[in-house]
Each structure stands twice: as C-alpha cells, then as structure tokens.
Amino acid sequence: MADPKQEQRDRFRAEDPASGPMTTDQGVPVDHTDDSLQAGERGPTLMEDFHFREKITRFDHERIPERVVHARGAGAYGYFQPYRSCAEFTRAAFLQDPSVKTPVFVRFSTVQGPRGSADTVRDVRGFATKFYTSEGNYDLVGNNFPVFFIQDGIKFPDFVHAVKPEPHNDIPTGASAHDTLWDFVSLQPETLHTIMWLMSDRAIPRSYRMMQGFGVHTFRFVNAQGQGTFVKFHWKPKLGVHSLVWDEAQEAQGRDPDFNRRDLWDTIEAGAYPEWELGVQLVPESDEHEFDFDLLDATKIIPEEQVPVEPIGRMVLNRNPDNFFAETEQVAFHTANVVPGIDFTNDPLLQARNFSYLDTQLIRLGGPNFAQIPVNRPVAPVRNHQRDGYHQGEIHRGANYHPNSLGGGCPALADPDDPAFRHYTERVDGRKIRRRSPSFEDHYTQAALFWHSMADWEQKHIVEAFRFELGKVGAKEVRARTVEQLSYVDHALAVAVAEGIGVPAPQERPNTPQPTPSPALSFENNRGDGS
Ligand code: HEM
C-alpha cells in the first residue's frame, strides 16, 4: 500500500540535485572551491569573491537554537495500524479501519542535556509521535514515564531552571545530580512520585526499542455522536521493557555517547524494525470523580488494576531519516495538534503545554511557516488565509480573507455535517482563582505505591541511585530536607538513603503506611558517597 508521507518526501527529495557540477545558491556554476580569490599570490582576499562569501556566510548560519528541553534526540519514520475500529469512543479517522496504515514520525529524546550530551544519562526520555492522518496531523507528545514532576505548567520554567546546569558555571551538563534540582524537589513534594521513577531503572533505558511511552495527561476521545470518554495513552514495546544498570550506563557514556541513537539507527538499517502496541485506559465521563486522586493531575497514574489497558493498534518504525537536521532537528511536535475525535481536558499542565510548544517553535524554527518543512507537512491538504511571514514557501493565489465573494482562497467553511474539528462542548463554571485544587493535594500515596510495587533488587537500585545523586549535593540542609520528604513515602527508604549520605535518619511518620521492611534495604556495600 502506498505511504502518502513517503510519496510526499519523494517529491521533495526529487528536487535535491544530488549529482552534477557545483553551483552557488543562485545556480551559477562554480569553477573552484578550495582557494579564495586573492589580490596577487599572497593576498589579501577580495570582497568581490561572492562564492567565498556565500560559502562562509552559509556556514556561519548553520546552527539554530536547540530545543529548550529535549534537545538531544533520534527519529524514525514508520506507520501505525489500528487492530479494530474505535468508533464507539472516537471519530478519529486513523482509529477506524484496521486495513489503513497511517504514516508516523517518532522522535525519542533525553530531556535535560544539550544536543551534544550523552545518551545514557539518568533522565526522563521523550517519546513523541506525529501521525500524518487523512484529517491532519495528530501529535502524541509523551514521555517514557506515565507521570510528570509538576502539576501546573506555570511551574515549568522553575522546574527546568532547577534541572538544567547551574547558571554560574554550567555544571553539571549531563546528570540529574546537583543542588538546584534537589533543592527544588525538597521544597516541592508534588515532584516526588516522578522522582521515584527517575531514581528507578526506568530512567536508564537500554534501548529506545525497549521503552514504554505514555501520553501522561488524561485526554478525551469524542465519538461521532459528540460523546466524550477520558483516555490515557500507553505505548508498549514488543521487545519488553529493559534497562541498563548504572555502571553500564556510565561506561556507555564514555565509550559510546550515541549508545541509544546508534542502536535505533542500526536496527532499522538491519531491518529489525522496532514495534510498539498502543493501549488506552478508558474512563466514562460519569466516573470522573470515582478515584481517590484527580484525573486532571499529571502526577498520578490510573492504576491498571482499576482500569485495564486495552490494546488498540500497533506502530512499526521502518525508515531512518535522510537528513538529521532537516527531519529530526526540524520536526515540531505540539500537544495542541489534535484531530477530530481527540480533545483536551482541563489538566493545568496540558493547558500550559498547549501554549508553550507553538510559542517556542516560532523562535526555534524561525517564524510561522515551519509547518511547510517536509517533516512537519501534513499529508492532508492545507487551505486557509494565513499568509506571508519568514520563509514562506507557498505561492498563494486568490483571496486572503474571509468571507469573500470574489473567488479564490478557501471561501467555504466546513459544512456542519463535515467531519471538521469542533471543540468539545464541556461546561465551564466558576470564579477566577489562582489556587491549586484541593483534589491535587496528596503527593505521597502514589509515590509509595510505586516504591512498594518494586522487586527487592529494583528497590536496591533506587536506594543506590538516591545515595549516588543526593551524595553529590553540597548543601547538607537540602540532603536532609529531601530525606525528610522521602520519609513520607516510606520510612525504611528514607533511613536507607540517609545512612548512605551522612544525614540523620528522619523520624517515623505516624501517617505513613509502614510495610514490612524489604530485604533489599539491608545491604552493605553501597557507594553513597557519590563515587
Ligand atoms: C519538548 C514531553 C511538559 C514545554 C518536549 C518533547 C517531549 C515533551 C517528548 C520533545 C519533542 C521533540 O521530540 O521535539 C513532555 C511531557 C510533558 C511535558 C510528556 C508533561 C507531561 C511540558 C511543559 C511545558 C513543556 C509543562 C511547558 C509549559 C516543552 C518545550 C519543548 C518540549 C518548550 C521544546 C519543543 C521544541 O522546541 O520543539 N516535551 N513535556 N513541556 N516541551 Fe514538553
């Protein structure tokens, strides 16, 4: 079956004059490119040498700003195919017909480090998927953890500033251990659940092919009757979930900083195409308040015992990009890129993301026309009255306003019966208040749930990770405050971490559920000193 995205790429690729004599950007043949034009045998170089000036200028302008987060990534093309029609829950065209393959581009990434940092650092991994559907692009911009560090997007700049290298010396550049992050964590208990994931082996995936992905937020499916259903998205790797151990991860950082990128590239080149299953957790709107947490709180999972994950389709990645910069670097994902049948909820983190991605891409990709870049270009037709701007690649004709009676442009808006995107008609009520909902208050129960779901050896790795990372924090009060926070998750965990980093063991919290101490906590030879 023809792949419409590949056909579109082939048209762009056909314009690349891969062979033939060298020319300037103006198409003028060049006779010589190894010596600049000089006055006499030994110079000076002449301003008149337009080939020299163009060549150097183009080189000088090769870099664009790297992403403010998720700067380092690896991407691949492939397809998504549903197992069955999901019409009962969503009208999204790409989730209707099991015979239809929808082209995708996926970018995996680390979050904290710059573009040139190492792959195998302890960090969250991005897992962003662009579906080129027949009704426009749908982006599922997820991570390999099902939860996030903060509940409201207004805190994102604070969180990212704390995570990034310290402003005075730009250290550390590649790991999660330093004073500012742990200062933030110790003062912001909403981070704790995701911090538990960050200290677990999930934060050092062995391969992008062996990594889960999560949409994190509760989104909304909407069916053809306009009925909504809450939905959480899960990607499950066919190869299972596998991690490195910390020593391996550190060794890989030195021996092969491209460890995960190379693995993805090489396996696709070898034809061993990685595959994921897409699963959904579905919650009827009538059950919105049936949980002991808020569905709008991105620091919470819906436990699978409460709502099982239903597989609805599979994704295969089978083509490497031709050009890293043109495709992987210039791809622009955005949580607000949705299609009819998929909508938002009032999760305050999601609402902030819906502003942030387009805003940052306007600067990162040099203006408003980046949807015309081949990797971002929908396979669905694009027609509107948006015009001009930097890097306009279209030659628009006809009217550029609506309504118009003179012809051209796109005078007709969708007929009420057409499958256009229509925002879900959710009732919104209330007074303006700048305050977190009390339903977002519990920061410890699910952190504890995660801890107690771990096997002994996984708990051991988590304690070692806390000791390693916190052991590097210079400010003793930050170490102590973090351990204090951990004592609300699990006392034995807090004591084990405290022992390794030279701070007093915290008091037992009367309200914290105390399970039987795990044998994993009575181990001796831990390096909690940051060595
Ligand atoms: C980039 C995921 C929260 C702002 C990314 C990327 C992913 C991602 C996967 C990389 C996209 C790519 O490969 O190009 C997430 C998840 C979040 C989250 C799962 C929470 C559930 C936020 C929040 C904000 C934010 C709260 C801001 C309010 C950004 C920005 C970029 C980015 C500015 C860079 C985008 C670009 O330059 O193209 N995020 N993010 N993210 N994220 Fe998030």
> Is 60 exceeded by the pLDDT of residue 14?
yes
> Other C-beta atoms within 10 Å of 507: how many?
10
Which pLDDT value is given to residue 514? 45
CA of 412 to the centre of ligand 1 (A): 35
Q: Is the CB of 404 under 6 A from ligand 1?
A: no
d(CA 61, CA 306): 53
> Is 50 exceeded by the pLDDT of residue 98?
yes
Greater model confidence, 346 or 515:
346
Which helix or strand (DSSP H or E) is residue 110 part of?
A: strand 102-110
CA of 128 to the centre of ligand 1 (A): 9
Q: Is the CB of 109 under 6 A from ligand 1?
A: yes
Active-site position among 143, 144, 260, 369: 143
Q: Compute the residue count for the chain.
A: 531
334 is an active site residue: no
Place of tokens 């700003």: 65
CA of 69 to the centre of ligand 1 (A): 7
196 CB-contact burial (10 Å; exposed 0-12 / middle 13-18 / buried 19+): buried
| Prediction pTM value | 0.94
d(CA 396, CA 401): 12
Q: Is the CB of 360 under 6 A from ligand 1?
A: yes
CA of 97 to the centre of ligand 1 (A): 30
Which pLDDT value is given to residue 529? 33
d(CA 298, CA 379): 32
178 is an active site residue: no
Atom 13 (ligand 1): residue with closest C-alpha? 107
CA of 408 to the centre of ligand 1 (A): 38
504 CB-contact burial (10 Å; exposed 0-12 / middle 13-18 / buried 19+): exposed
pLDDT tens digits for range 363-383: 999 999 999 999 999 999 999
Testing ligand 1's pocket by substitution, the residue of 69, 123, 155, 164 carrying the most ligand atoms inside 8 A of its CB is 69
- Closest-CA residue to 217 (of 197, 196, 231): 231
d(CA 58, CA 10): 25
- Closest-CA residue to 512 (of 452, 464, 463): 452
Helix (H), strand (E), coil (C) string for 31-73:
CCCCCCCECCCCCCECCCCHHHHHHHHHHHCCCCCCCCCCCCE
DSSP one-letter code for 119: T
d(CA 285, CA 219): 11
DSSP one-letter code for 398: B
Which atom of ligand 1 is the closest one to the Cα of 359? Answer: 33
Over residues 95-115, the mean pLDDT reads 98
Q: Is the CB of 333 under 6 A from ligand 1?
A: yes
> Is 90 exceeded by the pLDDT of residue 52?
yes
Which pLDDT value is given to residue 530? 32
- Residue 519 pLDDT level (bands cut at 50, 70, 90): very low
Bridge partners, 132 (sequence order): 137
- Residue 524 pLDDT level (bands cut at 50, 70, 90): very low
- Residue 521 pLDDT level (bands cut at 50, 70, 90): very low
Q: Is the CB of 208 under 6 A from ligand 1?
A: no
- Residue 174 pLDDT level (bands cut at 50, 70, 90): low
At a CB cut-off of 8 Å and minimum separation 6, what does 51 contact? Answer: 24, 30, 33
Atom 37 (ligand 1): residue with closest C-alpha? 67
Testing ligand 1's pocket by substitution, the residue of 154, 357, 360, 375 carrying the most ligand atoms inside 8 A of its CB is 357
**What are the residue ranges of helices labelled H in 170-319?**
179-187, 192-198, 246-255, 259-269
Q: Is the CB of 358 under 6 A from ligand 1?
A: no
- Closest-CA residue to 528 (of 503, 500, 502, 505): 500
CA of 374 to the centre of ligand 1 (A): 21
Q: Is the CB of 160 under 6 A from ligand 1?
A: no
pLDDT tens digits for range 157-171: 999 999 999 888 888
Q: Is the CB of 232 under 6 A from ligand 1?
A: no
Helix %, strand %, coil % of the chain (to 5): 30, 15, 55
Residue 374 contacts residue 363 (beta carbons within 8 Å): no
Atom 22 (ligand 1): residue with closest C-alpha? 353
Instruction: Write the DSSP assignment of 431-492 as a string of letters.
Output: ----S--GGG---SHHHHHHHHTS-HHHHHHHHHHHHHHHTT---HHHHHHHHHHHHHH-HH
Bridge partners, 353 (sequence order): none
96 CB-contact burial (10 Å; exposed 0-12 / middle 13-18 / buried 19+): middle
pLDDT tens digits for range 122-139: 999 999 999 999 999 999
Greater model confidence, 281 or 512:
281
